[in-house]
Structure formats: structure tokens, C-alpha cells
Amino acid sequence: MINIEDIEKIMQVIDKFEVSHFEFQHEDSKIIIDKNKICEGLAGTNTFTKGEIKAAQSKIEKSINEDVEPEITEKEYIKAAFAGSFYSSKEKNEQAFVKVNDEVECDTVVGLIEVMKLFNEVEAGVQGTIVDILVKDGEFVEYGQPLFEIKSK
Amino acid sequence: MFKKILIANRGEIAVRIIRACRELGISTVAIYSETDKDALHVKISDEAYCIGKTFVKDSYLNVQNILSVAIHAKVDAIHPGYGFLSENTNFAQMCEEFGIKFIGPCPEIISLMGDKSNARDTMKRAGVPTVPGTDGEIQNINEAIAIAKEIGYPVIVKASAGGGGKGMRVVNSEDELISSIETAQKEAQNYFGNPMVYLEKYLEYTRHVEIQIIGDNYGNVVHLGERDCSIQRRHQKLVEESPSPALNEDLRNAMGEAAVKVAKAVKYNSVGTVEFLLNEDNNFYFMEMNTRIQVEHGVTEMITGIDLMKEQILVASGEKLSFTQEDVKINGCALECRINAEDPYRNFIPCPGKVENYLSPGGIGLRIDSAVYPGYVISPFYDSMVSKVIAWGRDRDEAILRMKRALNEFVIEGVKTTIPFHKKLMDNETFRKGNFNTKFLEIHKIC
Amino acid sequence: MSISVLNPGLQSTIQDLGRHGYQKYGVIVSGAMDVYAMRIANIAVGNDENEGVLEITMIGPSLELEKGALISITGGNISPTINGKKFPMGRPVYLKEDCVLNFGACIAGCRSYLAIAGGFAVPEVMESKSTYLRAQFGGFNGRPLKKGDILNIGTKSVAAIKIIEKLQEITQKGEFAAPSWYIGDSTVENINSTIIRVFKDRQFDNISDESINKFFNSEFNVDNKSDRMGYRLCGEKIELKERLEMISEEVSVGTIQIPPDGNPIILLADRQTTGGYPKIAHVVSVDIQKIVQLKPNSKIKFKQITLKEAERLYFEREKYIDELKKAIRLTIL
């Protein structure tokens, strides 16, 4: 099990010898540290490298999971992968792609989201039945907004 | 005057922008990644839209989703804050094309100053002292070798498209030069998508002193004095102060005028910072210009009483600068400590996590800029900033004393922070004397 | 880089926006029939709007394409496939391997446009790469493609290279990488009865009232003899108030002539340089696409609007195309 102290030592070595990519495996733990820019940080502030993130992530997930209660309801949703205008049919006045109780496959197109004049097909992503349609034709949707409630097989 | 602004940023600067908009009666639109759904800037804005997944490239750099929201929300302008898209010429250009004002200078100026080698040349032509070095980018190795010989080692190879302390390599002797240039070019290509580099004499014992300027669309440019940002770790600023202990009135005027001269020459029409290197003989040399609001702008606000954020927004909306050079008075001394979620005892390793308890200091002469609150989770995917603590005093000693008091009052539990580092720094003899340069933290081990 | 023609299809010709400024020498304009689809195809691959594209008619060709090509297909849906897989229309597609592009059934429309980043390296004749079929010059040797033809491709634009860089970031299995987005309206929809908007042309008042009524209230059939020169319509015969001796006048894309037999002709890309028949009406420019995508035996009905309204529609369309170009630029920011 690799711990934070080890990671710190590894990173000091990496810095010292200006290594840009480093992989290390020990038993069931693996560390990959890549010094390519991962996010454009703020000018003048510290940014994290991938290695620092991976190590810190598990620590955070632990602390978050301690607070979150398991959800009792298991509602499944098809969510928006873009921020833009949702359309329920190919053209205006045309029949909608899907209606409630329709069976869909993973790649069934259930709607469109237009982002700056470019259209993206929304696929069901899972095999199942449409339970509810949560957005109107022409409505603006955010990233991650639930569009359809679906019951998967 | 703008009616609605979209803030294309997060964290404490997003909060800062929203505060200024509130005071100006401007509606605010926040954007956030999935991870930031509980962020403070999302809570206090008038409207908020999720625009992508956690990673910065999917969210805060996702220009399509951001512009899509901007158009849907019918915003008049976008404030890019610092970092992220604030110095992205293409983004600034696209905003204009979509009829949305980009709060910053025009794309041409961003592009000019963004190319560090071009910026240097512009300064030279405007008569601003620059560090001896190559004229423009290195076109062939022999030319570089000749110039390095002329200016004398050590030299530093810098990426044209770099900045913020990134993409630089110090070269101590001629045999290292060729390989250093080649490595620097490769790194520049990887990090910034542009392999061009230039050469400068490496001035080792210098202070980093920057001049805050602001200009409007009517040719008015004013400087608001300097900030000394010499306390740096790996080229990242940790403490900034104004006035600089190294400057006297004459030097301040000379540097201020140089900065204003350049800004006027390029018709600069927003806030900006001209960074200089100041050597032991009090000679100053242009280093780079930042065409955005900076993290440490609050230091200048504390000693001048001028709200730079509001001014930036007003100027962008077409108003004239509300003050002249004569109106700018430096009053007292201000110091800023950047409190990050890092462990100063373990080489500043990042310590993201849930902030269990948070109680910021208060009282006379203190300003705390933060986006943290009790229960907030500091994410490992973004910068590690917790708070900016700015202390003001009638003189430097009082400011330092006040900072010490503030740091002692500050309660942050759940994550390790750099507060212990700053406390020790305030007690450091050399720091208190004000006698330091950018090598300070390399020489003095504080923690 | 080049494209090899394994099978030419019914009529595949290189077209651009047309040969302008030469009608006074008796040289017709030619150019793409569906100008809108052609422009979109070029925009999608970072080409100049006027770059030469391949106009594919009804039965598509079989083409061998090289790895590294960036292509787009717009307009009518003639079931394009790459190595058997459905080809995503209306967007830039980057080919990761050498592959074969085939076409199949006409699902909607009948004219499809293939643009390739860099365009076709054929010589310009009178400032245009369009094929003048009757005169046998322009385009690829002045003729439709034949089996065995090799089409050379020009240099990609900076924008095209950026588009390719973005597409290479997509981890997609298979021979090509395409974005999940597509340009709206870049593919023709199957519509049963098509309404074509027109405004009055010069000899409108010479047409009998009864015929005007018939013109706007009856359905016309697209005759088999319709081609790049014009679409001939069958239906109610249109008659003049009295015989008209006309000196030939100007005609343009969308001019509707009434020849002596009373069957309207809608003039299109390969129309003659002047026309001597009375001109009853003119098709609105944004509806040209609807006509040229109709197969023989399709039905149309005309609807009258004002010239002002027609202009408004034109400006709306241009604004839309402008915004599309911006949107594409955003994807490669």
C-alpha cells in the first residue's frame, strides 16, 4: 500500500531529476505521475499534478462518503451532456423521437441538444423503457440536467 | 452600463466579481462544473448553470457550453477572472463576434502581451528597460550561443507562450546551452503548443516588483503604484505587499511612468500589471505584462481605496476612468498572505479535503477574500487556494503585526493549510527588515 | 493525397459556386445545384466556401480515400458508408485509415455533396472549378467522373488541421473519427409534398388570371426530363393573356419560364445565359435547395410571397451560415 509519505518522496525525486513521466507498481498499488499540464491553473497559484490528484482523491472520497446517506430511491435518468437547447423531435412539428412507455436501446436517439447551432444527438445510453419526459421542446438545459426518467432492463 | 455579466471562473475571484456586480446593480450568471455545485460563487449569483464535468477542459475551458449559456442567459459581458480563459485571445475574439463584451483588453493586445518575446520587443521600442537578451525568438542556435556569450552567464531560456513562472530554464554555462534550449523548446511545445523560446540574462538577485495600471477606451491610463511579490516558491507568489520596501518615491514614479508609457502606446483599455525585475542597484527591467486582474489586486485596493474590479467593469462598459493619476494616493502599507490547502511541513504537498471548521479573522485593517465556508470540500482538481488574507497598517511594522494577529485568529480545520508558514514568515528577521529578493525562500527555510 | 474512383456513380462532377462574370461571353454559370449544402460541406472541413466539391447525383460513386483525409458529406442522404459502416453526415470526418466510401439508396433528396479539406486540385477555367458539361471544360477534364480517375487533393487549411487535431483526441474505434455534433439543416429531410415560395417576375402580368390561379393552386409534377439545366414541370398548362414577342432577357437560378407548350420550367445551375420565354415568377433563393433535391415524379406547389420577404429569408439564411462558421471556429478554439 503506497502512502502519502511515499508519494511525497517520489515527487521530490521527480522534481530533482526533472522526470516527466513516472510509473511504479507495488503489489496492488500503482502510481502514475505525469508532469504534462493537466489543468490551466491560475497564474501565480499552485496547481496539482495527476499524481497529487490521484492520491488526494481517495482521501476526499472517503470523507465525502462518510457523510452521504445511501439513496433509497433508484431513479435512473438520461442526462444532458451539454449546455444548450433541447429538442424532442428532428424538425419542428414533426413527431417526437420518443414518448412515455417507449422501449429504447442503448443507441436509440431520444432527443437533440443544440449548442451554438451544432446539434448533438442524445442517446438513451441504456436499454429500457421511458418512464417520464422531464424537459420541453426548445427548453435550455444545463450539463447533467435530467432529461428523461428511464427504467433500465 | 452592463445589465448582466457571466463570470467564467470559480473560487474566490468569482466571488469577488459577483460582489462588484452587486454594488453596480449588475445581474450575475455563474457557471460551474459538476464538482463545484456547492461552491460559494454558485450560491451567491443570481443565476447559475452547470456546464460540464470536473476536469477544467470539460468545464471552465469548455467555450461552447460557456457561450451557449451566455447567449441563452442574454448576458452583456463575460468576466474571465484570472487564469482559465482570461488571456485566451481566441476566446476574447469569439466573444466579440457573438456580440458579448469580453471584460479585458482587446484581443490584439492580449495576443501581443501573451507572446512574451513580442511583448519584450514592444517594450524595447517604447523605451522601457528590458533584460539584456535575444532580439525576438531564437531562430538559430549559433545566434543564441553568441548572444549568451555577449550578455554573460547565467542566462535563462523562456517560452514565448509561457508565463506565470512556467516554461523557464536557467543555463549556467555554454556547454549546457544547446541541450537546455532544445529541452525548453520541447517543453514549450508540450505545455503551451508553441515551441518558440527566447533568451535573457538571468538576474539572480532581484526583487519582483509589479506596477498596477488601468486604462479606459479614451486613452486615459493611470498607475496605482507597485506590489512587491518577491516572496515566491518555485515562481509562485506566496506573499505580496505594497509599497515595496525597496522603492522610494523617485523609483516609484519612474517605474509607474514607464508602465503607463507602454500602456498608452498600445492603447491599453482595462486593468493590467506590468512586472519588473529590480536588481540590487535599483535598476528595473521589464519582465512580462499580465493583461488581466490579478490574484493580489486587493493589496493595491487596500492602500489606494480604489475598487479595481468595479473600475474594470465600468471601463469595459465604455465609461471613462473615474479618477486621474493625481487622485491616486498611497496610504499606509498592505500585506497579503495567500493561504493554500498545503502542508508547509511536507514540502507544501496539497491537502484538499473537507473544511470542517472555518472562522476567518476580523477587526480593523483586515480583508479576507475567500470562497470557503464550513463544510465546503476543497477539490483536488482545481487550485489549492483557501483564502487571501490582507492586512493594512499605517506602516509596514503595523501591517505585519496585524497579519500576525489575523493568522493567529484564523481557524481552519479539516485541511492542513500554509498558515503556520506565514506565521513563521512574519517572525523572520530578514522578512521584517524588508531586505529580501526572489531567492529568499531558497535561502531561508521557514518551516 | 488523392481520391481514386472505383465506380463513378450516375453523375459525379466537381462544382463550386459557379463561373461568374462570363455570361457576357456566352459561358453559363454552372456550379453546385444545392449551393447551401455545398457551402456547408466546405465550412465543415475548414475550406473556403467556394472550394470545389464533388456533386453526387442519385446513384453515388465508389471512392477510395486515403488515411489522413478530412471529409464531409451534406445535402441529400444517399446512404453513404465507409467500409460498410454508416457515414455520419453534416460534420467533419477524419479518416484514420485508407478506406472505401460507398453510397446506397436515396433516403431523402437526390443530390449529395462531398467536400475534402484542401479541395480538389483541378485547374480553374475562367476562375472556376465548376464542370461545364455541355462545353466539356472545367472541373475534372470537363466531364463526370469515370472509373479509374484519380483526383488530386489540395493543401489543408490551418482550420482543417486544427479540426483534425481535435478529432484525433476522440477515442473512437474504427476507420474514422467524427464529432458527436452535426450541422443542423445539413441533410435534406424527406418531405412528401413540397411548397416552393416564389415572387413575381417580369412577365407576371402577361399571364392570364385563370393561369395565375392555376399556378398557385394546383400541384405540378417534376418531369423525367429534369436535369442540371432546369426542372420541367407537368400539370395545368399556363397561358398568356395574349401572344408576346419578347427579346431575350436575363435569367438566373430560380427563374420560372413559360414556354409555348405551357409547362413551366424552373431554370437551375446549367441554364442558358439569356431566356426568351416569359418569366412568370422567380423561386426564392432559400427554396432552391428544396427543388434540386426532388426526384422525377415528385410533386410541388407554389406559394407567392413578396420580394421583400424573399430578401428577408435570404439575409436570415446568410446570418445562419455566418453563425455556423463561428460555431465551427468555436469547436477548434
Q: What is the average pLDDT across C216-220?
A: 94
Q: How far is C18 from chain A (nearest CA, A)?
A: 27
**Residue of A37, A41, A85 lying closest to B83 (CB–CB):** A41
Report d(CA C304, CA C177) in Å as an integer.
Answer: 44
- Per DSSP, the three-state class of B146 is helix
Q: Of A49, A67, A85, at which residue does a domain stop? A: A67
The answer as to whether C127 is a domain residue is yes
Question: For residue C282, what is the domain's CATH number?
Answer: 2.40.100.10
Domain match, A9 and A52 both:
yes
Whether B50 sits inside 8 A of A83 (CB atoms) is yes
Domain match, C145 and C181 both:
yes
C-alpha cell recorded at residue B380: 483536488
State yes or no: pLDDT of A33 exceeds 80: no
Report d(CA B292, CA B82) in Å as an integer.
Answer: 6
Domain match, C279 and C236 both:
yes
Q: Of C189, C217, C246, at which residue does a domain stop? A: C189
Q: How far is A108 from chain C (nearest CA, A)?
A: 14
Whether B94 sits inside 8 A of C331 (CB atoms) is no
Domain match, C242 and C267 both:
yes
Torsion of CA C37, C38, C44, C49, to 10 degrees: -130
Say whether residue C162 is in contact with chain B using an 8 A CB cutoff.
no
Residues in chain C: 333
Q: At what angle do helices B297-304 and B308-316 cross, to 10 degrees?
A: 100
Whether C189 sits inside 8 A of A91 (CB atoms) is yes
Domains by residue range for chain B, with CATH: 4-103 (3.40.50.20), 132-201 (3.30.1490.20), 206-443 (3.30.470.20)
What domain range includes position A63?
4-67
Domain match, A86 and A63 both:
no
Interface probe, candidates A10, A42, A62, A64, chain B, greatest B C-beta count within 10 A: A42
A-facing residues of C in 173-212 (CB < 8 A) are: 180-184, 189
Q: Mean pLDDT of all residues in chain B?
A: 94
Task: Indicate if the alpha-carbon torsion angle B195, B198, B201, B206 is positive or negative.
Answer: negative
Number of domains in chain C: 2
Minimum Cα–Cα distance from C190: chain A residue = A91
Residue-wise pLDDT tens digits, B380-419: 999 999 999 999 999 999 999 999 999 999 999 999 999 9
The answer as to whether C159 is a domain residue is yes
Say whether residue C325 is in contact with chain B using an 8 A CB cutoff.
no
Say whether residue C14 is in contact with chain A using an 8 A CB cutoff.
no
What domain range includes position C287?
193-309
Is-contact B335 B239, C-beta < 8 A?
yes
Say whether residue A115 is in contact with chain B using an 8 A CB cutoff.
yes
Is-contact B227 B302, C-beta < 8 A?
no
Whether C326 sits inside 8 A of B97 (CB atoms) is yes
The answer as to whether C150 is a domain residue is yes
Minimum Cα–Cα distance from A123: chain C residue = C180
Domain match, C155 and C302 both:
no
Domain match, A49 and A101 both:
no
The answer as to whether C252 is a domain residue is yes
* pLDDT reported for residue A40: 38
Q: Is B169 a catalytic residue?
A: no
Higher pLDDT, A20 or B85: B85
Whether B64 sits inside 8 A of C330 (CB atoms) is yes
Residue owning grid cell 457515414 = C87
State yes or no: pLDDT of C251 exceeds 80: yes
Domain match, C31 and C73 both:
yes
Report d(CA C330, CA C333) in Å as an integer.
Answer: 5
Domain match, C201 and C185 both:
no
Report d(CA B226, CA B231) in Å as an integer.
Answer: 15
Q: How far is C219 from chain A (nearest CA, A)?
A: 23
Say which DSSP state B317 is in: T
Q: Of A18, A49, A67, at which residue does a domain stop? A: A67
DSSP B159-226: EEEEETTEEEEEE-SHHHHHHHHHHHHHHHHHHHS---EEEEE---SEEEEEEEEEE-TTS-EEEEEE
Residue-wise pLDDT tens digits, B258-292: 999 989 989 999 999 999 999 988 999 998 899 99
Domain match, C6 and C137 both:
yes
Question: For residue A122, what is the domain's CATH number?
Answer: 2.40.50.100
Domain match, A148 and A94 both:
yes
Minimum Cα–Cα distance from C328: chain B residue = B64
The answer as to whether C323 is a domain residue is no
Q: Between A and B, how many residue pairs show a Cβ–Cβ distance under 8 A?
A: 136
C-alpha cell recorded at residue A63: 470523507
Distance, C-alpha B161 to centroid of its chain: 16
Residues of C in contact with A120 (CB under 8 A): 180-182
Give a three-class secondary structure readout of chain C: CEEEEEECCCEEEEECCCCCCCHHHCCCCCCCCCHHHHHHHHHHCCCCCCCCEEEEECCCCEEEECCCCEEEEEEEECCCEECCEECCCCCCEEECCCEEEECCCCCEEEEEEEEECCCECCCCECCECCCECCCCECCCCCCCCCCCCEEEECCCCHHHHHHHHHHHCCCCCCCEECCCEEECCCECCCCCEEEEEEEECCCHHHECHHHHHHHHHCCEEECCCCCCCEEEEECCCCCECCCCCCCCEECCCCEEECCCCCCCEEECCCCCCEECCCEEEEECHHHHHHHHCCCCCCEEEEEECCHHHHHHHHHHHHHHHHHHHHHHHHHCC
Chains with ≥3 CB–CB distances under 8 Å to A: B, C
Domain match, A57 and A84 both:
no
Q: How far is C332 from chain B (nearest CA, A)?
A: 10
State yes or no: pLDDT of A42 exceeds 50: no
Number of domains in chain A: 2
Interface probe, candidates B61, B63, B85, B97, chain C, greatest C C-beta count within 10 A: B97
The answer as to whether C328 is a domain residue is no
Phi, psi at B115, each rounded to 5°: -90, 105
Domain match, C39 and C155 both:
yes
For strand C85-86 and strand C81-82, is the pairing parallel, antiparallel, or unpaired? antiparallel
Is-contact C59 C25, C-beta < 8 A?
no
State yes or no: pLDDT of A10 exceeds 50: yes
* pLDDT reported for residue A23: 73
Report d(CA A81, CA A146) in Å as an integer.
Answer: 10
Residues of A in contact with C330 (CB under 8 A): 116
Domain match, A92 and A51 both:
no
Residues of C in contact with A117 (CB under 8 A): 183-184, 320, 323-324, 327
Domain match, C197 and C185 both:
no
Q: Give the closest residue to B316 by CA, choosing from B14, B1, B70.
A: B1
* pLDDT reported for residue B284: 94
Q: Which residues of C268-277 are buried (b: 16+ CB within 10 A; e: fewer)?
A: bbbbeeebeb
**Residue of B67, B190, B384 lying closest to A116 (CB–CB):** B67
Interface probe, candidates B57, B58, B65, B67, chain C, greatest C C-beta count within 10 A: B67
Domain match, A80 and A144 both:
yes
Q: Residue ranges of chain B with pLDDT lower than 50?
A: none
Q: Between B and C, how many residue pairs show a Cβ–Cβ distance under 8 A?
A: 15
Kindly report which listed range (A139-153, B137-151, B390-404, C204-218) carries the lowest average pLDDT score. Answer: B137-151
Q: Mean pLDDT of all residues in chain C?
A: 94
The answer as to whether C273 is a domain residue is yes
Burial class (CB in 10 A: 0-12, 13-18, 19+), A9: exposed
Minimum Cα–Cα distance from C324: chain B residue = B98
Q: Give the closest residue to C87 by CA, choosing from C75, C103, C76, C98.
A: C103
Is-contact C37 C183, C-beta < 8 A?
no
Domain match, C185 and C206 both:
no
Domain match, C98 and C79 both:
yes
Q: Give the closest residue to C77 by CA, choosing from C117, C34, C44.
A: C34
Domain match, C230 and C131 both:
no
Q: Is the peptide bond before B243 cis (omega within 30 degrees of 0)?
A: yes
Q: Give the closest residue to C120 by CA, choosing from C74, C158, C162, C71.
A: C71
B353 Ramachandran zone, left/alpha/beta (phi>0; psi -120 to 50): left
Q: Mean pLDDT of all residues in chain A?
A: 77
Q: Give the closest residue to A114 by CA, choosing from B436, C90, B124, C236.
A: C90
**Residue of A38, A41, A144 lying closest to B34 (CB–CB):** A144
* pLDDT reported for residue A45: 43
Chains with ≥3 CB–CB distances under 8 Å to B: A, C
Chains with ≥3 CB–CB distances under 8 Å to C: A, B
The answer as to whether C43 is a domain residue is yes
Domain match, A8 and A61 both:
yes
Q: Of A14, A48, A67, at which residue does a domain stop? A: A67
Say whether residue C331 is in contact with chain B using an 8 A CB cutoff.
yes
Q: Of C128, C156, C189, at which residue does a domain stop? A: C189
Domain match, A94 and A53 both:
no
Catalytic residue among B292, B338, B396, B402: B292
Say whether residue C326 is in contact with chain B using an 8 A CB cutoff.
yes
Q: Of C130, C162, C189, at which residue does a domain stop? A: C189
Whether C326 sits inside 8 A of B94 (CB atoms) is yes
Minimum Cα–Cα distance from B59: chain A residue = A143
- Per DSSP, the three-state class of B307 is coil
pLDDT-derived band at C62 (thresholds 50, 70, 90) equals: very high
* pLDDT reported for residue A38: 39
Say whether residue C237 is in contact with chain B using an 8 A CB cutoff.
no
Domain match, A104 and A133 both:
yes
